[in-house]
């Protein structure tokens, strides 16, 4: 499978003082989440780029919601431990904002992740 990616934002990090920007990337059976957090005041303070790799086996579901107030992509994981590695995430879910110009890429991304999750579950059953 080819690499597939979609840019995202996580708003209101550190109680609104910062924001994270990143890329979700699907590489075969791995979901890579790469992001950097920077302050909202002047943008001078920023974290190192963090890279989190999740196995497709750890994904329970993925959903995209399009709204007038903004678009969001939610990934529900099998354990809470995985979601706490990403800012402002809890309850075993990772929810990120998607810009309007990236909606088509996000829809394609969600479809491909769902396909990969289903394929992985079939492989697990056949073992």
pTM of the model: 0.88
Q: What is the pLDDT of residues 73-93, one digit of tens each?
A: 999 999 888 788 888 887 889
| Integer Cα distance of 19 and 104 in angstroms | 23
**41 secondary structure, DSSP code:** S
Q: What is the pLDDT of residues 19-67, one digit of tens each?
A: 999 999 999 889 999 999 998 877 778 889 999 999 999 999 999 999 9
User: Would the pLDDT of 2 be above 80?
Assistant: no
Question: Contact 8/73 with Cβ under 8 angstroms?
Answer: yes
């Amino acid at each position: 499978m080819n690499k597939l990616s979609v840019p995202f934002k996580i708003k209101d990090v550190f109680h609104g003082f910062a924001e994270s920007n990143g890329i979700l990337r699907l590489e075969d059976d791995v979901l890579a989440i790469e992001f950097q957090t920077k302050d909202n005041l002047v943008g001078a303070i920023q974290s190192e780029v963090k890279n989190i790799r999740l196995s497709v086996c750890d994904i329970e579901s993925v959903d995209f919601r399009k709204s007038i107030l903004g678009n969001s992509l939610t990934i529900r994981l099998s354990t809470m431990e995985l979601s706490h590695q990403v800012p402002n995430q809890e309850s075993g879910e990772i929810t990120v904002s998607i810009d309007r110009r990236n909606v088509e890429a996000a829809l394609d991304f969600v479809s491909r992740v769902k396909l990969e999750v289903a394929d992985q579950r079939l492989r697990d059953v056949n073992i």
